[in-house]
Amino acid sequence: MPPTSDTPLPLTGVRVVEFTHMVMGPTCGMTLGDMGADVIKVEPLGGDSTRKLLGVGAGFYPLFNRNKKSIALDLHSARGREVVMRLVATADIVSENFKTETMQKLGLDYATLSARDPRLIYVSHKGFLPGPYDHRTALDEVVQMMGGLAYMTGRPGDPLRAGSSVNDIMGGIFGAMGAMAALMQRAQTGRGQEVQAALFENNVFLVAQHMLQFAVTGKAAAPMPERISPWGIYDVFSVKGGAQIFLAVVGDTQWRVFCEAFGFDDLYADARLTTNNDRVRARDWMMPLLRERLADRDAAELAQVFERKGLPFAPITDPQHLFADPHLQATGGLAPMTLPDGRVTATPLLPLTLDGQRLGLRLDPPRLGEHGRELLESLAYSKPEIDALVADGVLLAP
């Protein structure tokens, strides 16, 4: 909810210490932070590597690390690990997405930390849940290829990854969901637990509808460009001036409305097009005819008719144009945010409301080590002790 709201956020009072990088782990922390948790991002002295990524990775850090505090430490030093252990002792949740061996070497694995605090909830984000594949290094693209999503997105013989880090993002959200479930269970049992989320299993969940399609029909699902649509009209149309628009007519009532709106009385009277399933079977000759009839129409005009008649439609939009989307602006879906380099932009919020309110931005994505001194003071370190840690290269505190 907005910072001005008098209603406490759902996770107010919950502390999360995260050892995460890239997308999956940071998404978990962002989700918990948006819901009010006090999220502390522990970074190496060089910072989360996503701070420096180019291309499609340039948006990773600012998006997935809002509503967090940053502390930068040398975890390979005994004094750095001592600071972290004192910090973890204040946590309800520890979240990580590094290799298991890495966390074990640092003494930050679940077995070690839960022995110190049985109430601790430990969220582990991995490529695979425990099993034959868990030794492999996984990336979003890896699991999209092996998990059927790239096959479904691309054309036959041309697998294509989805245009977003869908498994990383959803995997992190499932990690946050598991953490919240563990908090609820801890309230009943008094004990914490380990929560695991994984890229591959997340991807399998995404394509499960196609697995069940095969189970029901006995026929393999075709890639999306070659799929048998469940609807008669469910397509992108090229119209006047080379513009494109997505139009859908997904039921028999909508078919009547569509034909009346555009004066297609002949099509509505055609017995071959009476039901939706009839129209699906007739797509080979029906769709070229509709494309021809709509080709000289203006995209804006089509949108107005479809909106007025309550028919599904969508403009084809590039992501950068969403900053100016009137719906997002009017509904509070974008929040002003200051980037670590001082530039001001906007960021999309979680796609939900609680009691009619969006979960807003409380903290901008932190500069590296921005909250180091503040956090050590809260752990009862004195100013001379903090200064010594900075001077000795254990703590980065600009």
What is the set of active-site residues? 168
Asked if 61 and 48 touch (Cβ cutoff 8 Å), the reply is yes
DSSP 369: T
Classify residue 374 as exposed, middle or buried by CB count within 10 Å of its CB (0-12, 13-18, 19+).
exposed
DSSP 50: G
Q: In terms of Cα–Cα distance, which of 266, 297, 264, 279 is closest to 233?
A: 279
Asked if 144 and 154 touch (Cβ cutoff 8 Å), the reply is no
Q: What is the signed CA dihedral for 387, 393, 396, 398, rounded to 10 degrees?
A: 60
Q: In terms of Cα–Cα distance, which of 38, 37, 70 is closest to 51?
A: 70
DSSP 225: G
**CB proximity list for 378: less than 8 A, separation 6 or greater:** none
Q: What is the CA radius of gyration of the chain?
A: 26
Q: In terms of Cα–Cα distance, which of 49, 63, 46, 62 is closest to 20?
A: 49
**Number of Cβ atoms within 10 Å of the Cβ of 124:** 22
Q: Distance of CA 142 to CAs 146, 199, 200, 224, 316, Å?
A: 6, 9, 9, 19, 28
For residue 333, give both structure tokens: 């879906």
